[in-house]
Amino acid sequence: MEVEKIRKYVILALGVAVCLIGAALMAFGEGLLGENHAGIATVIGIVGIGLIGIAGSIIAGSSKRSSEEAKSSTGGVSNG
């Protein structure tokens, strides 16, 4: 249970890190990648955004499942 919860946030953190790497390459990548560095930096940024989106859908899906499990365990009556 705890490992799955941590795994979701690890994917989110990885996505943010990849986006930041893409942004850094866009700003300062000329020395590392040469004159035409914008293309690879853009692709890296898009991959990071995709990872963030995947993590968001995983987190949203798991919270929906846990709320459905809570409703089924209380007989459909909310505690609020």
* Per-residue pLDDT reduced to its tens digit, 5-43: 788 899 999 999 999 999 999 999 998 888 889 999 999
DSSP code string of 29-77: THHHH-S--HHHHHHHHHHHHHHHHHHHHHHHHHHHHHHHHHHHHTTT-
Find how far residue 70's CA is from the centre of its chain: 26
Q: Is the pLDDT of residue 79 over 60?
A: no
pLDDT of residue 76: 58
